[in-house]
Amino acid sequence: MKNFFSHLKGDAFGGITAGIVALPLALAFGVSSGLGPSAGLYGAIFISFFAAFFGGTPTQISGPTAPMTAVSMVVIAGIIATHEGDVGKALPYILTVFLLAGLFQIGLGLLGFGKYIKYIPYPVVSGFMTAIGVIILVTQILPAIGYYPKEDEAFVEKFKPQAEEVILENILKEEAGKDILVLEDFKSTIEKANQISQEDIAKESKTLAKKEASGVLGTLKVLPRALKSINKLELILALVTIFIVFGFKRITTKVPSALVALVVVSGVAYGFGLDYKQIEEIPTGLPIPQLEIFSKFSIATLTPYIFTALSLALLGAIDSLLTSVVADNMTKTKHKPNKELVGQGIGNSIAAIFGGLPGAGATIRTVVNINAGGKTRLSGMIAGVMLFVIMLGLGPVASKIPAAVLAGILITVGIGVMDYKGLKAIPYLPKDIKIGPLKLSSEVMIMLVVLLLSTFWDLVYAVGIGLVISSLLFMKTIGDLTAKRSDVKSLKEEAWPDEYGFPTALKEEVFIKHLKGPLFFGSTSDFLALSKQIPSTAKTVVIRLGRMQYMDQSGLYAMEDVLIDLKRQNITVLFVNLLKQPRYMMERIDIIPDLIPNEHIFKNFDTCLDWVKTNVKDEFKN
């Protein structure tokens, strides 16, 4: 808390400015998530305040972000679909997943995982960020042209037969859970089935229609239909919003262009009494804790979403710490990654309890804060308070905002979030792998795999697959490099400087092997061939280990296999300059002293040479 208020003026101006910038984005992310604008606003308020207060990056401004919202949108849609399309019924379970994600982040910070985020490969991050941009762009096409699947009566009509089946299936599941099906001879089930009204079918049909048109694939499916019924007013509002967001930046960047677009277009639309679709009403008064999170808590219900919550936590961690690096570069400071994760986790947990969207460190808002004079965590707390005041004072006014305006703002966010640097580099990256007749760049392949899988399948699994492919390719590359440097060569072919004085008469009896680099699962296959490449005249093998800094379990057992093979051939093995980590590994499974006694381990080559001169005889005298 040192110097907490020492930069009050700069922090106040930075926080207020960042809060104003966050307003339109918070509303837009809330609407696109499916929980409504208030969820985005609550998330921005609580995450900004508490992540700043407890976090490890003084100038960071946090709140709902494009990546977090994109993943949350999938989670929300999935849970709502399993609760008969009723947001009210699904909300406690959605918020429980968000709360769990926040708790996971706290755990990651306390366990010290913050320092490992830097090992995520750039192609994975690049593909993911570009996919986020594509997802936002595609999914905002429908609201931008004023098409809402639930309001298309002809489209909804198609789902009525399926809706009736879903309702009957839900009744059967409910009855089966209560053991009524057998006990009452289907009487209760038949009675409930007869009570299904046209209203129930219509409601379920709208839910199914909305689900069918959700996501990138859903949008593309209904796009031809949507283009036939464009609402010209909604399209004009969206296009004017996009034009102002990009155009106003050319005039000045001191005033947030998204805010200008929001105020101007919304003001004109409302002032002239245009017939546009408004966003959902923002509740007035103080945010209320959603205590149903705890009262309806169930391990069985939550179990399918544990991996999703962990993925959301990891994504938020990556998003936040990347922004922390940007803040460090601008302020010439160094953030505390683990403390930052704890702060983000606390912010997300509290936001979930009050019904807010999860979020992370937001790069644009953080940059705005720093440029406006923000120096300490007080700036992030002020940004949260600023949004809270706006919500209390201007909630009814904000409820008049056209939905098309927020769609236009999100389209500009989608365009801005894509990684153009990575896309531009595609033609210039070296083609280092071959698949059939094609030569490809491994980094481009990873980026495209993550991009396509994220866009058309699942964001979380796409990142996981990208990491696995990256790791495998990295291990292959390191393995190849290690193998090249660790070729089995006899003394006649290669000698290190301290070996030049080796007795010529003993060169047939002694074989020297140099290990350079780690002995791990990527290089074991070449090492296992060692015993087969030793000249038949050799009765002693010297393995020089001074450059083998690391050995994993695969390398350990490969070493054991080779030593056992050499022992069967009555070949004596000597170790030279065995380092600490490999020695520890070999002592754990008794390679030392069972296969290599301590008297056969030498600190340097000179002492080993003395042993060789004393114990090895020239058996091939001319």
What is the band of 491 on the pLDDT scale with cuts at 50, 70, 90?
A: very low
Instruction: Read off the pLDDT of each residue in 555-562 and give the average, rounded to a whole number.
Output: 88
Question: In the structure, what pLDDT confidence band is assigned to residue 621 with cuts at 50, 70 and 90?
Answer: low
- Residue 44: closest CA among 58, 28, 56: 28
Q: How far apart are CA 199 and CA 411, in angstroms?
A: 35
Q: Per-residue confidence at 6, pLDDT binned at 50, 70, 90?
A: low
Q: Tell me, what's the pLDDT at 16? A: 84
Residues in the chain: 622
Indicate left, alpha or beta for 576 from its phi (over 0: left) and psi (-120 to 50: alpha): beta
pLDDT in tens, 184-196: 555 555 656 666 7
Residue 597 backbone phi and psi in degrees, to 5: -65, 155
pLDDT (0 to 100) of residue 488: 42
- For 176, residues 6+ apart whose C-beta sits below 8 A from its C-beta are none
Name which residue leads in pLDDT, 331 or 188: 331
How confident is the model over 307-326, as a mean pLDDT?
85
Confidence of residue 487 (pLDDT cuts 50, 70, 90): very low
% of the chain at pLDDT higher than 70: 90
- Whole-number pLDDT of residue 186: 55
CB atoms within 10 A of CB 250: 8
User: Are 378 and 8 contacting, i.e. CB atoms less than 8 angstroms apart?
Assistant: yes
- pLDDT value at position 195? 63
Is the pLDDT confidence value at 264 over 80?
Answer: yes
Task: Indicate the range of 139-143, 354-358, 429-433, 598-602 predicted with least confidence.
Answer: 429-433
Find the DSSP H helices in 34-86. 37-54, 66-81
Q: Which residue has the higher pLDDT, 215 or 38?
A: 38
Over residues 336-346, the mean pLDDT reads 93
> What share of the chain in percent tops pLDDT 90?
23
Q: What is the pLDDT of residues 233-259, one digit of tens each?
A: 999 999 999 999 899 888 877 777 888
pLDDT mean over 201-226: 84
Q: What is the pLDDT of residue 482?
A: 61
Q: Which residues contact 438 (CB under 8 A, 6 or more apart)?
A: none
Mean pLDDT of the chain: 83
* Burial degree of 396 (CB within 10 A; 0-12, 13-18, 19+): exposed
**Is the pTM higher than 0.85?**
no
- For 20, 363, 388, 479, 578, the CA distances from 472, given in Å and listed in that order, are 45, 31, 47, 10, 29
The 3-state DSSP class for residue 231 equals coil
**Quick one: average pLDDT of 79-103?**
85
Taking only Cα atoms into account, the Rg of the chain, rounded to an integer number of angstroms, comes to 32
- pLDDT tops 60 at residue 75: yes
Distance of CA 371 to the CA centre of its chain: 28
Dist CA 516 CA 399 (whole Å): 67
Per-residue pLDDT of 104-158, as tens digits, reads 999 999 998 887 776 778 788 888 888 888 988 898 899 999 898 888 888 888 8
**Whole-number Cα distances in Å, 153 to 139, 164, 280:** 21, 17, 21
